[in-house]
Amino acid sequence: MTSVSKEPRQGPPEQIRAVPVRHYGRWVAAVLILYVAVWAVHSVANNKRFGWDVIGQYFTDDAVMRGILMTLELTGIAMLMGIVGGVLLAIMRLSPNPLISGASWLYIWVFRGTPVLVQILLWGFISALIPKFSIGIPFGPTFADFSANSLITPFVAGCLGLGLNEAAYMSEIVRAGILSVDPGQAEAASALGMSRAKTMRRIVLPQAMRVIIPPTGNEIISMLKTSSLVSVIAVADVLYSVQIIYGRTYQTIPLLLLASIWYLIMTSILTVGQFYLERYFGRGSAQRQTMLERLWTNLRSARPAAKGADR
């Protein structure tokens, strides 16, 4: 019954030139969006109370610049604490020893279950709870004393509040990443004689990264903004710096907008960085392209086709 194709047909088949479907709904939506956009730009530009001149005046003010540096420092330190602590907690959580996994569970329960603002405040007022820290043997002799106020400055309190809270969230992200790796990978590694620690470091974690990176990027961006909470314990980040300025000049709205613009700039830069990080850890699987690269390959592949159509 099967038929084998006979003579090949002469010449290439005729190219299809069909009338594309018209999407009237999309046109209406496009017009509406354009209308709203023009209206928004017009009102922003003409509303004096936005205070664009004030924003321009303070945009690169020294206090603002120092605030930006402080925000970046806080974000960096807190995320570092979060990531290192999170990996540790995740590995503890997956331990077969119930005491170790229980400790990790308890940590996550406490730090994820209470508001980060409260945690920051508690660290800020720690000296009321523990007036001094001592180095020594518990219930035994002490070698050195530090007053809590000199050891836990507002900056340190901010880092602790943000970082310890972040570790709880990161641990769940890391754990999900580790669990996403096929158990056959760890089996293959141990069949080759690799130790559990080495298997984790060389085989499992690098693959878990593909799952861990996107939500971690999210966490960093979120942290950059959450770090503004430290203004409540008088750490001079971006928000606190502009609060100081508008406390003096009463130009509240322009300065809050100024802070927002700086946050937007910083998160935009992070978004770009996240893309490249994701691509690095995605190697061995489908490669993603940047918008520019996609445009370039589209143009290149489109050209010969266009020529073909002209023929």
Partner 1 sequence: MSGASLGKEDGGLMVHAEGVHKRFGRLDVLKGVDLKVKPGEVMCVIGPSGSGKSTFLRCVNHLEKIDAGRLRVNGHLVGYREKGGRLYELREREVAMQRREIGMVFQRFNLFPHKTALANVMEAPVQVKRTPTAQAREQALALLDRVGLADKTHSYPSQLSGGQQQRVAIARALAMEPALMLFDEPTSALDPELVGDVLEVMKQLALDGMTMIVVTHEMGFAREVGDSLVFMDGGVVVEEGDPRSVLAEPKHPRTRDFLSKVL
Binding site for partner 1 (CB under 8 A): 182, 184-185, 187-196, 198, 202-203, 206-207, 281, 283-285
Backbone angles phi, psi at 42, to 5 degrees: -60, -45
Closer to partner 1 by CB, 156 or 176: give it: 176
Nearest-approach distance from CB 287 to partner 1, in angstroms: 10
Nearest-approach distance from CB 186 to partner 1, in angstroms: 9
**Cα–Cα distance for residue pair 264/261, rounded to 1 Å:** 5
Closer to partner 1 by CB, 68 or 174: give it: 174
Closer to partner 1 by CB, 10 or 285: give it: 285
Q: What is the radius of gyration, based on Cα positions, of the chain?
A: 28
Closer to partner 1 by CB, 207 or 227: give it: 207
Query: What is the DSSP annotation of 169-183?
Result: HHHHHHHHHHHHS-H
For the beta carbon of residue 284, count every other beta carbon within 10 angstroms.
Answer: 9
Q: Which two tokens stand for residue 291?
A: 């918008």
Nearest-approach distance from CB 192 to partner 1, in angstroms: 4
Closer to partner 1 by CB, 60 or 287: give it: 287
Alpha carbon 308 to its chain centroid, in Å, reads 45
Q: Which two tokens stand for residue 30?
A: 């496009």
Integer CA distances (angstroms), 176 to 11, 62, 102, 200, 216, in order: 56, 43, 17, 14, 12
Nearest-approach distance from CB 278 to partner 1, in angstroms: 13
Q: Counting Cβ atoms within 10 Å, is residue 98 exposed (0-12), middle (13-18) or buried (19+)?
A: exposed
Nearest-approach distance from CB 59 to partner 1, in angstroms: 44
Nearest-approach distance from CB 212 to partner 1, in angstroms: 13
Closer to partner 1 by CB, 83 or 205: give it: 205
End-to-end CA separation in angstroms for the chain: 40
Q: Which neighbouring-strand residues pair with 142?
A: 136
